[in-house]
């Protein structure tokens, strides 16, 4: 009969479980239990980070190694910290939903990435603050009932820009400058140009046509 091969990690497989109290966190996690004070580390399956005074379930191996299997009671109220060393992958064959009655926050010191076939954002108020913003896309459709924009400086570069509006009002306090190779301005009815002073300069030709021309 072949001998059963036992991994080295299982040779000292005697384990006892005790209830303990977390008595120290730094520089190492120590748990006080009936069997003594153990230097322990959270088990890989224990996602709740132990805090001082928490009542925990600790597993002690014959080798002296100890693990906190679970946090049973919290010593104080507050946020429940979920702590994991290394990367985490959450996968579900169906959908995943995160809900919070008072809010949901995503924070990262490096990067937050969203990859999806469809990104659906619905909110009453949307606020965004950034030092730099880059948007790259193929087609954009924006439908707003009302929009107010306050921007300090805007530099825009377009290959082609087409704008259709029912009414357009522009109020400029200082300078309105247009530079183009050709300018074509047309109105179905009337064009009004009013100014304290008006200057028209042309290097070659100035031409005015009309059934009636009134000057002065």
* CATH code assigned to 9-73: 2.40.50.140
List the domain boundaries for the chain: 9-73
Task: Report residue 1's pLDDT band, with 50, 70 and 90 as the boundaries.
Answer: very low
Which candidate, 61, 51, 41, places its Cα nearest to that of 21?
Answer: 51
Determine contact, residues 208/191, Cβ cutoff 8 Å: no
Instruction: Kindly report the backbone phi and psi dihedral angles of residue 8, in degrees, each rounded to the nearest multiple of 5, phi listed first.
Output: -60, -30
**More confident call, 99 vs 13:** 99
pLDDT digits (tens, 9 = 90+) for 165-216: 899 999 999 999 999 999 999 999 999 999 999 999 999 999 999 899 888 7
Which candidate, 25, 26, 72, places its Cα nearest to that of 52?
Answer: 25
110, HSE (Cβ side, Cα atoms, 13 Å): 0
Considering the entire predicted model, what is its pTM? Answer: 0.59
pLDDT digits (tens, 9 = 90+) for 42-60: 998 999 999 999 999 999 9
Determine contact, residues 38/30, Cβ cutoff 8 Å: yes
pLDDT digits (tens, 9 = 90+) for 92-147: 999 999 999 999 999 999 999 999 999 999 888 888 888 888 888 888 888 888 88
Which candidate, 60, 63, 73, places its Cα nearest to that of 30?
Answer: 60
Which candidate, 137, 99, 94, places its Cα nearest to that of 119?
Answer: 137
* Omega of the bond leading into 184 within 30 degrees of 0 (cis): no
Could you give the CA distance from residue 112 to residue 7 in angstroms, rounded to a whole number? 40
Burial, 196: exposed, middle or buried (Cβ in 10 Å; 0-12, 13-18, 19+)? exposed
HEC secondary structure over the chain: CCCCCCCHHHCCCCEEEEEEEEEECCCCCEEEECCEEEEEEECCCCCECCCCCCEEEEEEECCCCEEEEEEEECCCCCCCCECCCCCCCCCCCCCCCCCCCCCCCCCCCCCCCCCCCCCCCCCCCCCCCCCCCCCCCCCCCCCCCCCCCCCCCCCCCCCCCCCCCCCCCCCCCCCCCCCCCCCCCCCCCCCCCCCCCCCCCCCCCCCCCCCCCCCC
Token pair in block for residue 155:
């530099």
């Amino acid at each position: 009969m072949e001998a059963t091969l036992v991994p080295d990690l299982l040779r000292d497989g005697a384990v006892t479980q005790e209830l303990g109290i977390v008595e120290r966190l730094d520089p190492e996690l120590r748990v006080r239990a009936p069997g003594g004070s153990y230097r322990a580390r959270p088990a890989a399956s224990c996602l709740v980070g132990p805090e001082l005074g928490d009542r925990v379930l600790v597993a002690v191996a014959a080798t002296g190694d100890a693990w906190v299997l679970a946090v049973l009671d919290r010593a104080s109220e507050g946020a429940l910290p979920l702590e994991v060393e290394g990367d985490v992958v959450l996968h579900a064959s169906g959908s995943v939903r995160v809900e919070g009655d008072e809010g949901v926050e995503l924070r990262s010191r490096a990067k937050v990435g969203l990859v999806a076939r469809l990104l659906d954002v619905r909110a009453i108020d949307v606020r965004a603050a950034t030092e730099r913003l880059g948007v790259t896309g193929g087609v954009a459709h924006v439908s707003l009932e009302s929009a107010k924009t306050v921007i300090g400086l805007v530099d825009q570069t377009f290959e082609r820009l087409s704008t259709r509006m029912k009414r357009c009002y522009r109020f400029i306090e200082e300078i309105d400058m247009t530079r183009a190779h050709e300018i074509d301005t047309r109105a179905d009815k009337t064009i009004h140009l009013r100014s304290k002073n008006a200057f028209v300069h042309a290097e070659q030709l100035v031409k005015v046509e009309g059934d009636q021309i009134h000057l002065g």
